[in-house]
Amino acid sequence: MALQKIHFISLFPDVIRDGLSHSLIGKAGDKITLNFIQLRDFAKNKHKTVDDTPSGGGAGMLLKPDVLFDAWSSVTSLEEKRLRPAAERPYTILLSPQGKLLAQSKAKTMASHHRELIIVTGHYEGVDERFIDLCVDEEMSIGDYVLTGGEFAALVVADVLIRLIPGVVGSEESVARDSLENGLLKAPQYTRPREFQGLTVPDVLLGGNHAAIEKWRSEQSQARTKRKRPDLWEALKKTKQ
Ligand code: ADE
């Protein structure tokens, strides 16, 4: 199963739409449907209020549960969430620094296990916990830092997921050769000219011996993962044990 549709629920859906339209992902229209939902359209009063102060006091504003719930219900329902397996219904992700960190392996699982995703971007100080309890399947973070809003996180998550859909990126081989695709960083890459500022392209890459090139790339890939990302190298060793 491959990902076919992503709904974004956001106060700034245009930021996500515009951001995606400037990349290769914007040309993936025949592979995936993107639906942008303006959270403010579900506000309950004439001032279009979407947030309120935290119960018990404290700084900042929280997104209101009823507004979030109605926006979410425009795509799916509690009944669907309760009754249908996660892979067969819209799966809801809330972007938040409290979520699990996104990694390439996780993105691959998501892109292949879900036909439809709902990506909810938080804003202000956060969201009312009851929306999370009722509607969210998974909280996801793109890194241990705090953004002003989830829109940039949504762009990152969508970009990572969409480029994994078969046919979106030029060749399947370029996806298969991505850094991190096999838990390793990519080998160094070169193009013409053969010599630049006194630095030359390694001879092996110009020799036309494909087996030798593969061997060189694999060795380089391992060596630079060990050097630049010892954390990844250790994780890889552990999974192999
Ligand atoms: N919203 C604010 N900070 C975030 C982060 N690090 N990841 C995902 N969503 C966020």
152 and 207 co-located in one domain: no
Asked which of 104, 139, 162 is the last residue of a domain, the reply is 162
This prediction's pTM = 0.92
CA-to-CA dists, residue 21 to 119, 208, 217, angstroms: 17, 38, 33
**DSSP summary character for residue 92:** E
The CA 146 to ligand 1 mean position distance, Å, reads 5
With respect to residue 169, please indicate whether it lies within any of the assigned structural domains. no
Residue to mutate (ligand 1; options 63, 96, 138; most atoms within 8 A of CB): 96
Asked which of 105, 137, 162 is the last residue of a domain, the reply is 162
With respect to residue 106, please indicate whether it lies within any of the assigned structural domains. yes
The CATH number for 32's domain is 3.40.1280.10
Give me the pLDDT at residue 178, please.
80
**Residue 6 and residue 91: Cα distance in Å, rounded?**
10
With respect to residue 216, please indicate whether it lies within any of the assigned structural domains. yes
Note whether 97 and 144 are within 8 A (CB).
yes
Whole domain around residue 127: which residue ranges? Answer: 5-162
With respect to residue 84, please indicate whether it lies within any of the assigned structural domains. yes
42 and 116 co-located in one domain: yes
Tell me if the bond preceding 193 is cis, omega within 30° of 0.
yes
152 and 182 co-located in one domain: no
109 and 12 co-located in one domain: yes
Which residues sit with their C-beta closer than 6 Å to ligand 1? 95-97, 122, 141-143, 145-147, 150, 153
100 and 196 co-located in one domain: no
187 and 154 co-located in one domain: no
Residue to mutate (ligand 1; options 9, 101, 119, 146; most atoms within 8 A of CB): 146
The CATH number for 185's domain is 1.10.1270.20
With respect to residue 134, please indicate whether it lies within any of the assigned structural domains. yes
**Average pLDDT per 10 consecutive residues for the chain, totaling 241 residues:** 94 95 79 96 97 95 97 98 96 96 95 96 90 98 93 96 86 76 92 98 98 98 97 93 87
Instruction: Tell me which residue has tokens 């050769």.
Output: 177
136 and 225 co-located in one domain: no
**DSSP summary character for residue 225:** H
Note whether 16 and 158 are within 8 A (CB).
yes
Asked which of 112, 132, 162 is the last residue of a domain, the reply is 162
Taking the CA atoms of 231, 94, 8 and 4 in sequence, report the sign of the dihedral they define: positive
Residues with Cβ within 8 Å of residue 128, at least 6 apart in sequence: 62, 63, 64, 65, 68
92 and 128 co-located in one domain: yes
Taking the CA atoms of 153, 157, 160 and 166 in sequence, report the sign of the dihedral they define: negative
Note whether 26 and 34 are within 8 A (CB).
no
54 and 155 co-located in one domain: yes
If one counts the domains in the chain, the total is: 2
With respect to residue 12, please indicate whether it lies within any of the assigned structural domains. yes
Active site residues: 97, 125, 163, 178
User: Backbone dihedral region of 197: left (phi > 0), alpha (psi from -120 to 50 degrees) or beta?
Assistant: left
The CA 145 to ligand 1 mean position distance, Å, reads 7
- At 140, which helix (H) or strand (E)? strand 138-141
Give me the pLDDT at residue 240, please.
86
Backbone angles phi, psi at 200, to 5 degrees: -115, 155
150 and 194 co-located in one domain: no
35 and 111 co-located in one domain: yes
151 and 184 co-located in one domain: no
